[in-house]
Structure 1
């Protein structure tokens, strides 16, 4: 050591033809390694860490990190990317029209709000976001979660406040306050560097949640398909009550709405399942089936006079852009709990899609910057009548498949949406709501087919299946936010159980080499004479210490009761007879990722009990953080432990001491 690197010596094995290496060095104790490598323990306080970080903070670097587009826009390859981005932007704009209108109504507000979502917050995300391929705007699950907030706090009639004044919250005031609250939550998460929080939401949780949310979405659209009115329910089991009310209202079905919806759903299925795949082989531009349905439905409704047949239509669509209005601050304290759930779900969806595209196209996405970008975009959108922001799975896939390479595609899409908002909007005023309901139902096919992944979760383990079922049933039977909370709790419990679980094995060497493997699975491995090597994988703390000791004694075949009996009578020789000439115990800590003081205490207890049996105990190959805990514990009177830096050093050292 001391800065010198000794190259291993090689010689050829004449029998096998494989190279053999020869290492000529002393056996190292961990203490010597620590001294010669000048190891520094992790003892920095939180204040010191914050000071170090801020001392390295540069103003220019901060600006560049807050506005990622500054990094890539100067080197934008116009000839290579521009045509694809324009083509993708036009395609996504075509999809934004029916989806935005449908999901705007799904959120409990007017259809034009969904179009605002494709313009205001989307442009802000272009400036601040790090993903180049996702299509921001409306998303079915987020719209449904927003609808729940609208149904809870939007007042149909004025209601008295605590001081006797009249308070009334319109749906648009509720959704803008929710969007602003979601934005603040996401920015706080970005400041606290909680970008990795979404990774705590397991695939089984997200799958079960979105599948159950799709059921909620379909049930909410059935009233428009049937052309009936049903009471709005709040709280637990509302989906059950809604289904019962729909059953009671079935005799009052509007046949025009029902038949028109069935025809449109059949048209969309044929287009999506047969025509689109065939056409995709002929040209790059995907068939705009949704737009055809919207335009066709609008024209049929206008000339067939559906309004006179009591078919519900969209109604007034104001021309132009909304004036900026500050959301009502008194609503923030009412909606913040629901906003937390919306923020977590929207961020998880955005990050999952962003990471998928980033991996495919080999660029990086910053988790914390995405939090900041979504937070600012939501706050900016809340001033312009927008609901909480998310990315659409279908639009993002189409944007990438049609050649979109950067967020320039979103700029093109937003520009076309602006044209619709300024001049074309009133054309869609006669669009039947049953058309949008049919589009939503067909679009949810992907969310239902993902339930087939339950088989994959079953192969992964029972905990994943339990998480999926609990989340799904919680969302279906109780409510969306409560079901999500149940799913998160079950997922965290499963994560804890997985972390609590440990595995252990006795190791032997491969043909007398320095390679050590599990004796249970490698039958030809050779046990080390007079030595037991116990490999432990897991954490050793106050919760697992008893299980660790039980596993250790079970593996080396020692009866703890007999050890205690030998200690009571002071019979060391009688105790050693229990071990069948076993004199050395080596505990391999290479896979122990956490050790606390209670874990060190149980190691001391094992050390003392092994001394009663004339067995020497050595610890091998600890991680730095585990070594720090061992040193700290020895300073508090635990141990003393003899620690070796590698397992092979421990075997050689133990045998040399034993032979001497």
Structure 2
């Protein structure tokens, strides 16, 4: 294995004795949080709770060895667990042998995809999924996750539907069957978790799990209809390659690709946030390789897909963790639990695991971000709303895909919009400004001075002609059109031809001359290749101030004009 891929030894060599002690404490703290979360998220994925513990061992060791992050804590997470359930439950009954086999196949596919993407160095692909899409998707997914746990919180039969309206309909049918003891446990669990969250350093989920096991065992609540985990197999699973067929690959590859990308995006975002504060660098392609190896080899030990956890990473940092030694310590403690203490979880109520999930995800519903997006850029706000609605109504597996497609359509629509404004000289600012913002700006009846603030291409070139016509309709005495090209960064062949046609038409038919100023070098190169230097030599001026003086255009005298420091406020 390439030594450049191995970061863990470098982290260890820089650790002091105090760092090691803090890492061990942080690892133990994460373990206390991870055991109940791992079991809860495995249940969310439609798997036996013990598989959440399996996913908290080998993947942690592998990620720790190859990761470039010192703080990211990986393992079972809510979003990935729900995606696993979404992708596999349509082909097999959750918790069945066939279902588990498909999940392990899915996990190995996710690992292969992430590893290949890392080796091919295409970590940049995450940039193509907008923040508004990811945030809208996560907010909707959190609601779907919470709704999917209502059946466990109420102790009723539920469905595997992931559309929120279908979940409501199914729960309404069985509402009268709810178990009072289960409801009391659920409400009490949520209240305890929320209450203990206010006390820093208290492992609420771990305390709740221990207390609920004792309570159910002591009062034999399982005989009163409270669903419990039941027998949990002792021992760690031996190495075994998941059964992977061509048919399985055809069924699962869309969800495998989705999970591979989303889990990487979430992990990278968390890792970068912490690394930025701690002043070290994260390598996206290295993170892809580390996650890929964790999922690929982890699948051979009954692990389902893992990802970075925001809550556990935050706990890691708060507890003083300074390297991936914390992940190794966590994994060792989980391994010991699997080998010797799984029987202790026999009386653990499903309602408690459901409460842990609900309390973990409710903060992911980020309505404040939606409001912020609408305030700053309504375009992103509508993208959020669209992705959110699609995820809730159509299905979680379609949220990001259709949300990204919607964003692409809006971008294409926006590309047809051309921003062009008339400029006037504002004496108080000693600069040319948009006359819509500065009505006091001085203009000349015989001169139309406009600024283009968009790149020109085939989709908006026709709009340019219409806008110039509109401006000239309000300036019937205009004999000159001055176009400031400082905001144009690119221009295509169609736009060059369109500008040429506009120049020729107005010069011949309307006797109006066109002049272009502040044209960037790359734009001049393109128009000159279209023989503008020969056909419209006089039209291309580099210096507006000189051109204004040569033509005798007196906007305001006296004034000092410095083209390089124009304020191009729209």
TM-score range relative to shorter protein: 0.7 to 0.9
Aligned Cα root-mean-square deviation (Å)? 3.2
Cα pair 1:500 1:538 within 8 Å, conserved: no
- The whole-number CA distance in structure 1 between the counterparts of 2:517 and 2:114 is 45
Count of residue pairs brought into register by the alignment: 549
- The whole-number CA distance in structure 1 between the counterparts of 2:455 and 2:465 is 13
The counterpart of 1:425, out of the listed 333, 337, 342, is 342
| Matched residue, 2:460 | 544
| Matched residue, 2:486 | 590
TM-score between the two structures when normalised by the length of structure 1: 0.76
- The whole-number CA distance in structure 2 between the counterparts of 1:631 and 1:402 is 64
2:305 aligned with 1:388 = yes
Structure 2: tracts of 5 or more residues without a match: 554-570
- The whole-number CA distance in structure 2 between the counterparts of 1:486 and 1:377 is 29
Q: Alpha carbons of 1:254 and 1:289: their partners in 2 closer, same or farther (altered >3 Å)?
A: same
| Matched residue, 2:397 | 481
| Matched residue, 1:122 | 60
Q: Alpha carbons of 1:190 and 1:617: their partners in 2 closer, same or farther (altered >3 Å)?
A: farther
Q: Alpha carbons of 1:643 and 1:79: their partners in 2 closer, same or farther (altered >3 Å)?
A: farther
Cα pair 1:324 1:384 within 8 Å, conserved: yes
Q: Alpha carbons of 1:512 and 1:597: their partners in 2 closer, same or farther (altered >3 Å)?
A: farther
**Structure having the higher Rg:** 1
- The whole-number CA distance in structure 1 between the counterparts of 2:375 and 2:428 is 38
Matched residue of 2:301: which SS? coil
2:195 aligned with 1:260 = no
Q: Deviations over 1:183-222 (max 9, x none)?
A: 2333343355442332333333222212221222122212
Cα pair 2:12 2:323 within 8 Å, conserved: no
| Matched residue, 2:251 | 334
The counterpart of 1:410, out of the listed 298, 304, 327, is 327
Cα pair 1:256 1:311 within 8 Å, conserved: yes
Matched residue of 2:46: which SS? coil
TM-superposed deviation, 1:316: 2.7
Q: Alpha carbons of 1:116 and 1:635: their partners in 2 closer, same or farther (altered >3 Å)?
A: farther
Q: Deviations over 1:72-104 (max 9, x none)?
A: 544x24256434333322211111011001001
- The whole-number CA distance in structure 1 between the counterparts of 2:12 and 2:536 is 60
The counterpart of 2:504, out of the listed 589, 593, 608, is 608
- The whole-number CA distance in structure 1 between the counterparts of 2:482 and 2:19 is 60
| Matched residue, 2:562 | none
| Matched residue, 2:567 | none
Q: Alpha carbons of 1:243 and 1:524: their partners in 2 closer, same or farther (altered >3 Å)?
A: closer
Structure 1: tracts of 5 or more residues without a match: 1-61, 158-167, 281-285, 560-577
TM-superposed deviation, 1:464: 2.7
TM-superposed deviation, 1:406: 2.8
| Matched residue, 1:652 | 546
User: Aligned runs of 1:40-439 on 2, under 5 Å?
Assistant: 63=2, 65-69=4-8, 72-74=11-13, 76-79=14-17, 81-154=19-92, 170-191=98-119, 193-233=121-161, 238-272=163-197, 274=198, 276=199, 280=200, 286-330=201-245, 331-439=248-356
Q: Deviations over 1:560-586 (max 9, x none)?
A: xxxxxxxxxxxxxxxxxx444x44x44
Q: Alpha carbons of 1:107 and 1:653: their partners in 2 closer, same or farther (altered >3 Å)?
A: same
TM-superposed deviation, 1:500: 4.2
Q: Which stretch of the first structure deviates more once superposed, 292-301 or 627-636?
A: 627-636
- The whole-number CA distance in structure 2 between the counterparts of 1:654 and 1:320 is 86
- The whole-number CA distance in structure 1 between the counterparts of 2:24 and 2:297 is 25
Q: Alpha carbons of 1:486 and 1:78: their partners in 2 closer, same or farther (altered >3 Å)?
A: same
Cα pair 2:105 2:299 within 8 Å, conserved: yes
Matched residue of 1:184: which SS? helix
- The whole-number CA distance in structure 2 between the counterparts of 1:355 and 1:266 is 33
- The whole-number CA distance in structure 1 between the counterparts of 2:33 and 2:94 is 32
| Matched residue, 2:368 | 452
TM-superposed deviation, 1:635: 9.3
Q: Deviations over 1:601-641 (max 9, x none)?
A: 112122223433251422523263x4454344449998668
Cα pair 1:95 1:291 within 8 Å, conserved: yes
Matched residue of 1:397: which SS? helix
Q: Alpha carbons of 1:523 and 1:469: their partners in 2 closer, same or farther (altered >3 Å)?
A: closer
Q: Which stretch of the first structure deviates more once superposed, 352-361 or 289-298?
A: 352-361
TM-superposed deviation, 1:539: 2.2
